[in-house]
Amino acid sequence: MEKSKQVNKENTKVTKPKVTKPTVGRATNPIADSGIVARINNFNTQKTNNKLYSGYLSNTITPKSLDFVGFVNDLNKSLSGKSSSTDLFNVLHNVFTEKMNCAYTAFGLFHEKSNCINLKLQNKLGSTYSSKIFMSDDMNPVVESFKHSTAILREDNKFLNIPYLQESSTYILPLVSVNQCLGVMIIGMNVNENETGLLSFIANYSAMFIHNLNLQEKANKYDNTDTLTSLYNHRGFQEVLTTELQRAKDNKTHLSIIMMDVNNISKINRELGHAKGDEVIRLLADKVKQNIRNNDKAGRYGGDEIAIILPDTNTADAKYLAEYITYTLSCCFVDDVGPVKVSVGISTYPDCTENQEKLLVLAEQAMYISQAKGYKEGMSAIISSSDYNFWSDDSLNSFAEVLAKRHAQMGINFEEELVHKFNNEQISSHNHLMEMVTSLAGAIDAKDPYTKGHSTSVSRYSEALARAINLPEDEVQRIKLGALLHDVGKIGIPENVLKKPSHLSDEEWEIMKQHPVIGAEKVLEPNEALRDLIPMVKYHHEHYDGTGYPEKLKGEEIPLSARIVAVADAYHALISDRPYRKGLGVDRACEILKMGAGTQWDSDLVRQFITIAPSLSTSI
């Protein structure tokens, strides 16, 4: 078994650079004042080669002659404007692999709650690996380097326990700032004696960089911290998410959101008191803090909702973390409550959306669907926004609930989002299309509490009338679909007009009359698969005598499909209850259709419909 070689021993001596005290009252340069320039110049004058240094692949590769001054200058330029530990580590990786020909780099910061070093390794080809090295593993040289703040050279990398990692000598350096070790920097290469001082300087610089970030974060933390959980509050969470999304966009990486909601928290607060509810929320927050990485961020998004930002994380990895957290919660029992149960929703940038507000909406929607699905084998249902069918009842109801509850102030309108989703859906089959159309029509009907099920009934009546006059089957199906969407334009009508319990004023009526055009132009026109339904939607309020709207078409100028829908629409309106009258019986409704035949409706179609109306009876 190979033993670790500490660099400060005889075989690899490291000469510590002298540090001079800065003069009080004078701006100091940490590079110049530390004597590092003189030290670097001294490196350049040394001629002795070290047999350990032999390139990153094998001893057949000739090491590059390193220009130390140029190296530091390049590093300084690359780090200009960087403001995160991730940026720092990426820059160092690029510089080390390009300038020093190392096989890989790894950086790990100590996580106090988990008592481990979260290590992320990246090889020269760009592949990345993550692992945890626990402080209890005293035989691991990474732990030794961290605990003793000592640089260690190993002739192998087996201790990293990363499969398929190219064999290489490994140099481990502690990241020490103000006598505190923050983590480790690992370089996959042989290191000669001349380079150890430079690498120690870079490790110390990196430690100071990270230390400063931590201090800055602590200084800003109090303004953006939730006092109950010590997580970010809502404002702080939003600010961090904005920054991380921009970084994900710049680096073309994924970012996932996990949204967690404590189940039955209202019941706990009501029956056991708010102190018990706060205890449950704190427990959830503690488990989240213990199990996220250093670069992950968590916040109290709402009263009992905890959200986690996971940079550089896809949906599958986010689900894995969520499963582990819910498992740890299931093992924790709170007096009088039992195990803590949560609903979990996930959304991922850019797969789900590139918009910050919508990313949160989708995560919250998935969380509500998780809540509806409950538990399987004692574990939470973890739902990603990519898992569920948007047009199912659970999905639409949760989507509307999220927007109504939290996001009206953001300008996200349920109906507009619904139409946007509708027109961007990849239609896979006729059944898929029917499901979408039915759900959209149901959502429109839900806007008007007095017309529940209206679109479905009009579709059924229209289909029956089309069959009664012996239209071809494909035309019957087209009319059935168009009738479902005949009122889709009401999506653009203000609710104060749509839901007015009394007769509309002249001005309000003019607004209401716009819905056929809105439906045709705003909803159907952008969707190529539905453009042949436009005549039904746009012209079903035209009258046979030319007094209708929107274009005052007359007689057979009105498409047959629109005339069919007009009769079915009128019949259902007559037999439905309204706030100002009770629904009419079938006979009375048919009498009114007869009275309007030839003026408002096509006489032949009215006559045919009256013969089949008794068989269409339905409970309203």
Given a contact cutoff of 8 angstroms between Cβ atoms, the answer to whether 304 and 262 are in contact is yes
- Quickly tell me which residue has 């002795």 as its tokens: 48
The domain total for the chain is 3
Q: Which pLDDT score is estimated for 451?
A: 57
Residue 575: CA count within 13 A, CB half-sphere: 25
Q: Residue 196 has which token pair?
A: 């150890």
Q: pTM for this structure?
A: 0.47
Q: Which pLDDT score is estimated for 404?
A: 60
What residues does 496 pair with on adjacent strands? Answer: none
> Of 560, 571, 617, 575, nearest to 594 (Cα)?
571
Q: Which pLDDT score is estimated for 562?
A: 94
What residues does 306 pair with on adjacent strands? Answer: 260, 300
How do 255-262 and 170-177 pair as beta strands?
Answer: unpaired
Q: Which pLDDT score is estimated for 316?
A: 92
Confidence of residue 272 (pLDDT cuts 50, 70, 90): confident
> Of 577, 602, 542, nearest to 610 (Cα)?
602
Length, in residues, of the chain? 620
What residues does 260 pair with on adjacent strands? Answer: 306, 344
Q: What is the mean pLDDT of residues 103-127?
A: 90
> What percent of the chain has pLDDT above 70?
81
Q: Residue 209 has which token pair?
A: 């960089």
For the segment 135-145, what is each residue's pLDDT rounded down to a tens digit? Answer: 999 999 999 99
Q: Which pLDDT score is estimated for 146?
A: 95
Whether 190 and 160 share a structural domain: yes
Whether 494 and 608 share a structural domain: yes
Q: How far is CA 196 from the centre of its chain?
A: 43
Question: Which amino acid, 468?
Answer: A
> Of 447, 448, 437, nearest to 573 (Cα)?
448
Say which residue, 426 or 194, is predicted with more confidence. Answer: 194
Whether 236 and 205 share a structural domain: no
Q: Residue 246 has which token pair?
A: 């921009």
Q: What is the mean pLDDT of residues 344-350?
A: 93
Q: Which pLDDT score is estimated for 65?
A: 62
CATH number at residue 106: 3.30.450.40
Out of 390, 412, 434, a domain closes at 412
Q: Does the structure show a pLDDT above 50 at 3?
A: no
Cβ-based neighbours of 415, under 8 Å, separated by 6 or more: 443, 444, 447, 491, 492
Question: Which amino acid, 223?
Answer: D
Cα-Cα-Cα-Cα dihedral sign, residues 280, 284, 289, 290? positive
How do 382-384 and 342-349 pair as beta strands?
Answer: parallel
CA–CA distance, 452 with 620 (Å, rounded to integer):
8
Whether 533 and 426 share a structural domain: yes
Whether 325 and 464 share a structural domain: no
Whether 364 and 399 share a structural domain: yes
CA–CA distance, 286 with 291 (Å, rounded to integer):
9
Residue 540: CA count within 13 A, CB half-sphere: 31
Q: Does the structure show a pLDDT above 70 at 38?
A: no
Range of the domain at 59: 5-222
Whether 106 and 251 share a structural domain: no
End-to-end CA distance of the chain: 83
For the segment 156-167, what is each residue's pLDDT rounded down to a tens digit? Answer: 999 998 888 888
Alpha-helical (H) ranges within 345-472 are 356-373, 393-402, 414-424, 430-447, 454-468
Q: What is the mean pLDDT of residues 398-408?
A: 62
Whether 206 and 306 share a structural domain: no
Out of 202, 222, 242, a domain closes at 222
Cβ-based neighbours of 129, under 8 Å, separated by 6 or more: 120, 121, 122, 162, 165
CA geometry: angle at 483 spanning 479 and 486, to 5°?
135
Q: Which pLDDT score is estimated for 405?
A: 60
The per-residue pLDDT of the chain, averaged, comes to 81
Out of 154, 187, 222, a domain closes at 222
CA dist 101 to 124, 171, 191, 245, Å?
9, 14, 11, 32
Given a contact cutoff of 8 angstroms between Cβ atoms, the answer to whether 493 and 608 are in contact is no
Q: Does the structure show a pLDDT above 70 at 218?
A: yes
Confidence of residue 223 (pLDDT cuts 50, 70, 90): confident
Of 445-449, 486-490, 520-524, least confident by mean pLDDT is: 445-449
Confidence of residue 336 (pLDDT cuts 50, 70, 90): confident
CA–CA distance, 340 with 456 (Å, rounded to integer):
42
Whether 616 and 516 share a structural domain: yes
> Of 560, 546, 590, nearest to 482 (Cα)?
560
CA–CA distance, 48 with 67 (Å, rounded to integer):
15
DSSP state letter for 523:
I
**What DSSP string describes 593-614?**
HHHHBTTTB-HHHHHHHHHHGG
DSSP state letter for 404:
I
For the segment 421-462, what is each residue's pLDDT rounded down to a tens digit? Answer: 777 777 777 777 777 787 777 777 666 655 567 888 899 999
How do 305-311 and 379-380 pair as beta strands?
Answer: unpaired
CATH number at residue 421: 1.10.3210.10
Whether 212 and 294 share a structural domain: no
152's enclosing H/E stretch is strand 152-154
CATH number at residue 298: 3.30.70.270
Q: Does the structure show a pLDDT above 90 at 107?
A: yes
> Of 237, 328, 219, nearest to 283 (Cα)?
328
Whether 372 and 471 share a structural domain: no
CB atoms within 10 A of CB 379: 14
CB atoms within 10 A of CB 223: 10
Whether 217 and 113 share a structural domain: yes
Highest mean pLDDT among 25-39, 210-224, 504-518: 504-518
